[in-house]
Structure 1
Amino acid sequence: MDPYDSDSSADEDFTDTGVLLGYADDEVIEDTVSHLGGWPKWLADNVAPPGEFANCKVCNSPMLLLLELHGDLPDHFPTDERRLYIFGCPRKPCNRKPGSIRAYRATRKVNLNSSPQQDEQEGTKEIEKEETTPTPPPQPQQPRDLGASLFGATALTSSVSANANPFSSNPGSSAGGFANPFAMPKPSTAPAPAPAPAPTPVQSSTNALAESFADKVRISSPEPSASNPALTTFKPTPESSGALAPWPEQAAFPAPYQNYFLDAEYETLSRPSTPTVPDNVQMEPMEEEGAGGDLKDTFESELDKAFMKFSTRLSHNPEQVLRYEYRGTPLLCSYADPVGKLLHPEHSAGRVTTVGGGHMPRCEYCGAQRVFEVQLVPHAISILEDGRPGVGLGEGDAGMEWGTIVMGVCSKDCAPEALWQTGWREEWAGVQWEEMK
């Protein structure tokens, strides 16, 4: 039941729902990042997404920005900077086709106590310190056996723990200071072992070790199981995919929609007033066939209940262009289309739709459940297309024909672990199109 359907407080004429509404304005109000239309601004200077993200999946041509939203969530991800983007293809042949509207999230981990410049300076100081520190004279080393060569252990004299094998459960317990549990003692009469192959240099960098370990985990991961939908074949992340095509120059894009900044207020719904019957009026039941309760049932059966609810809810605040509620529930304009069947419990094969995402596809990069974060509503179309020329793209601008665009995001906000590195993820865009007349 929606909050405005509740009669818990008859003395109040308004109720707040917890949904944040966005309103368009052609003048800067407070947030200079969030906006409709215009050109995108990237989370970090000169760190654009992969060039493939610019293109419509139908025609493979550059799309236009519909929404850029400041997405920081300090209560959920205090060390993450976030930005959300929705792009759409304005070309007529691509209308109503999957992939003509795409959604992205940019995230980077930050150090709350410093800036990138400060971290870089600290790193430079550490390097200089290492370079200026005198190297101690080499100490005589004990003989190395084959096991030590293969598994990376080194002969130690006084600092066993500093170079102990990280996989050993009892470092430093073997004779001679070796921490490698796989090294076996050799009889004194045994022939000299064959020359050991040169050991592969082991980098001391923590990041290098982490990457090596991640690679091993990825290789040894089990195959996806049909019985467990959480096990999926993950996409490679852009930062791990090697050289990627750059983001196109502005000249490659069609003329952008006009730029509008966003103001935000929490949704307030007015409670419907209950009509009263004057004392001197007497109500008599209608005797005509089809009247009374049957008339009401017939009327409701002829209308799409989802669209009625959608329209009624928007009519409380008709100037809204977006609705935002992280882990909330999207407002659907239909229960019968693919998105409605996916997210609404009455049309999802008897499955219970959970608040925050329902049965949105899981994150293709980490496998986490997706949750609802933001949706565009129809008034955004009238704002963006106001005064826009209807020609110029070969087929001409067809006009946007969606009823709402629902954006679902990774609930874990997956991103590169390295500080100050921007990660790009394509997220789920659930598009409910206008019904054909």
Structure 2
Amino acid sequence: MPPYESDSSDEGEDYTETNVLLGYASEKPSGDTVSHLGGHPTWLDGKTAPSGALAKCKVCNGLLTLLLELNGDLPEHFPGHERRLYIWSCRKKTCRRKEGSVRGIRGVRVAKGAASKPKATPKPEEPRQEEKPQPQLGASLFGVKNGASSGAPANPFANPFSSNPPSANPANPFAKPLLSAETQEENKEEASAALPQTFAEKVRLSSPPPTQPARPHEPWPAESAFPPAFPCYFLDAEYETLDAPSTPQIPSNVRIETEAESSEKGGGKEDKDVFESSLDKTFQKFADRVGQNAEQILRYEFKGKPLLYSDSDTIGKALASHSENGTSSNAKVSVSKGGKGIPRCQSCGADRVFEAQLTTHAITELEADEMSIDGMEWGTILLGVCSRDCKPNDVPEGEVGYVEEWAGVQWEELASRK
């Protein structure tokens, strides 16, 4: 996090701007017409909805309520991809604190030809076709529409500090000439015909099955079938700024007591241990960090580190080393052999990375008009997404598909609500 010093002509205080983009709820429209807190969902193409199975709570099988819809376009990471993120929650009290009562969905549309595929070297006798100019990545970042996201607003939550993908490698003069798909298929058929039939059958039988499992396809329920929606807020976005840590000044007339002197008076180490054990340092860091921008409802940093609400629950123990509290610099936090991290993508098996999290002030905004004090009980909701931004295998390029992503919930401590 690069430090930034304010001008001496202003307040004269130092502060730090981080790479985390914060979202704030606003009743007035912002520049991003897609992202919003609460309300009803909108789809990438305005008509293609996910499978209705993704709209159901895994605990009670009832319909969920939308918490967040976020414009997830990241042209510097996934050029030609349109992305949208959704977080849903079950409103039934009996489903709280149970896995599957909060679900995350990623919508994706990959423009035709956007996937980086090796192009076959043209034969000498064939005339080289004139290639159409491709939209530049920088142009899309500055608001120029490209073929994949025509008409879609720029994503204010895209992180300009993130590293750009590496440039393509130069051509390898020692590589074998690439063959067309038809030629490759003909060669496979000829090779299979030349082999004994039994061996060819064994080869086909031993071929691995598709990596993506079959997805459920159910009609998306009518809007009237869902529970009442939360009020809808637009999102304003700005980068997180933190006050520089202050160095307390000790008055000259104060005497500092050593640990040895303190232990002689009957206090000391035992009292210190009792105090530190009763203090949840992870929660304190969460409260202090969020408290510096108290009205934030969203923290966003693709391939960043989550800010944990607790380190004593299952999620806290799994992600502690990859969080703001940990020392790991690895942005990919998929499950390791020791069971630490986020589960891998269920669609393609790739690592998942952290992208966004809701904070507790979102509850205040969503339940502002509700008189009951028995509302939502989560401290933060983390969203982990496929690092490859994969699309379903059964969705052709240029069409919209939806994939369920990992939503990790850290619940409030029960004692804190008494």
TM-score, length-scaled by structure 2: 0.70
- The change in CA–CA distance for 1:62 and 1:183 in structure 2 (over 3 A counts) is closer
Could you tell me how far apart the structure 1 residues matched to 2:102 and 2:370 are? 19
Distance 1:16 1:103 in 2: 29
Alignment match of 1:376 (pick from 352, 358, 383) = 358
> Which amino acid in the other structure matches residue 207 of structure 2?
S
Find 2:288's aligned residue among 300, 308, 312.
Answer: 312
SS at match of 1:166: helix
Q: 1:253 aligns with which of 226, 239, 247?
A: 226
Q: Shift of the alpha carbon at 1:13?
A: 1.8
Shift of 1:344: 1.2
- 1:336 is matched with 312
- Structure 1 422/389 Cα, relative in aligned 2: closer, same or farther at 3 Å? farther
Residue by residue over 1:315-354, the C-alpha shift from the partner in whole angstroms, topping out at 9 and shown as x without a partner, is 111110010010111011111111011111399xx99783
Contact 1:344 1:353 in 2 (8 A): no
Equivalent residue number for residue 145 of structure 1: none
Q: 1:221 deviation in Å?
A: 1.1
| 1:92 pairs with 2:70 | no
SS at match of 1:77: coil
Unaligned runs of 5+ in 2: 4-11, 113-133, 136-145, 151-178, 195-202, 335-340
Other structure's SS at 2:79 match: coil
Q: In the superposition, relative to structure 1, how do residues 363 and 248 fare at CA in structure 2: closer, same or farther (>3 Å)?
A: same
* Contact kept in structure 1, 2:15 and 2:243, CA below 8 Å: yes
Q: Distance in 1 between matches of 2:378 and 2:369?
A: 19
Q: Which residue of 2 aligns with 1:283?
A: 255
Contact 1:257-1:388 at 8 Å conserved across structures: no
Q: Which residue of 2 aligns with 1:274?
A: 247
Query: Within 2, Cα distance between the matches of 1:249 and 1:338?
Result: 36
1:66 Cα deviation from its structure 2 partner: 0.1
CA distance in 1, matches of 2:45, 2:190: 45
Amino acid at match of 1:364: Q
- Structure 2 match to 1:324: 300
Task: For 2:284 and 2:380, locate their aligned partners in 1 and report how far apart those are by CA, in whole Å.
Answer: 14
Q: CA deviation at 1:29?
A: 1.6
Question: Partners in 1 of 2:277 and 2:192 — Cα distance?
Answer: 75
Alignment of 1:92-131 (within 5 A): 92-110=93-111
Render the CA deviation track for 1:118-161: whole Å, top value 9, x for unaligned: 9xxxxxxxxxxxxxxxxxxxxxxxxxxxxxxxxxxxxxxxxxx9
1:387 and 2:372 aligned: no
Checking the alignment, whether the CA contact within 8 Å between 1:326 and 1:374 is kept in structure 2 is yes
Measure the CA separation in 2 of the matches of 1:273 and 1:166.
67
Relative to structure 1, is the Cα distance of residues 168 and 245 closer, same or farther in structure 2, using a 3 angstrom cutoff?
closer
Partner of 2:386: 410
CA distance in 2, matches of 1:14, 1:419: 45
The corresponding residue for 1:63 is 64
Query: Hey, what's the Cα distance between the residues in 2 that align with 1:305 and 1:407?
Result: 23
Q: Which structure has the greater CA radius of gyration?
A: 1
Amino acid at match of 1:333: Y
3-state secondary structure, aligned to 2:282: helix
Secondary structure of the residue aligned to 1:53 is helix
Quick one: distance in 2 between partners of 1:373 and 1:164? 40
Does structure 1 residue 361 correspond to structure 2 residue 343? yes
Partner amino acid for 1:432?
Q
Shift of 1:16: 1.4
Alignment of 1:152-167 (within 5 A): 166-167=184-185
Q: In the TM superposition, what is the alpha-carbon distance from 1:299 to its structure 2 partner?
A: 2.3
1:12-56: per-residue Cα shift (whole Å, max 9, x none)?
621112111110011102111101000001111110010111111
- In 2, the alpha carbon distance for the partners of 1:37 and 1:89 equals 13
Give the CA deviation at 1:272. 2.6
Where does residue 29 of structure 1 map in the other structure? Answer: 30
How high is the TM-score relative to the length of structure 1? 0.67
Contact 2:37-2:235 within 8 A present in 1 as well: yes
2:238 to 261, 265, 270: 265
Q: How far apart, CA to CA, are the structure 2 residues paired with 1:18 and 1:353? A: 14
CA displacement 1:195-219 (0-9 Å, x = unmatched): xxxxxxxxxxxxxxxxxxxxx9997
- Cα deviation per residue 1:47-72 (whole Å; 9 max; x = unaligned)? 00101111111111111000000000
Paired position in structure 2 for 1:220: 207
The CA RMSD over aligned residues, in Å, is 3.5
* Percent of aligned pairs sharing the same letter: 49
Q: How does 1:123-142 map to 2 (within 5 A)?
A: none
2:211–2:348 CA contact under 8 A, matched in 1: no
For 1:327 and 1:44, the matched residues in 2 are separated by 26
Matched-pair contact (CA < 8 Å) for 1:90–1:398: no
In structure 2, the CA distance between the partners of 1:290 and 1:76, relative to structure 1 (3 Å rule), is farther
**Matched position secondary structure for 1:331:** coil
What CA distance in whole angstroms lies between the structure 2 residues aligned with 1:274 and 1:162? 67
The 3 A distance-change label for structure 1 pair 163 and 305 is closer
Distance 1:283 1:389, change over 3 A: closer
Unaligned runs of 5+ in 1: 5-10, 119-160, 172-178, 185-215, 223-231, 391-396
Shift of 1:92: 1.1
- Mapped contact 2:305–2:322 kept (Cα < 8 A): no
CA drift at 1:296: 4.6
Residue in 2 aligned with 1:7?
none
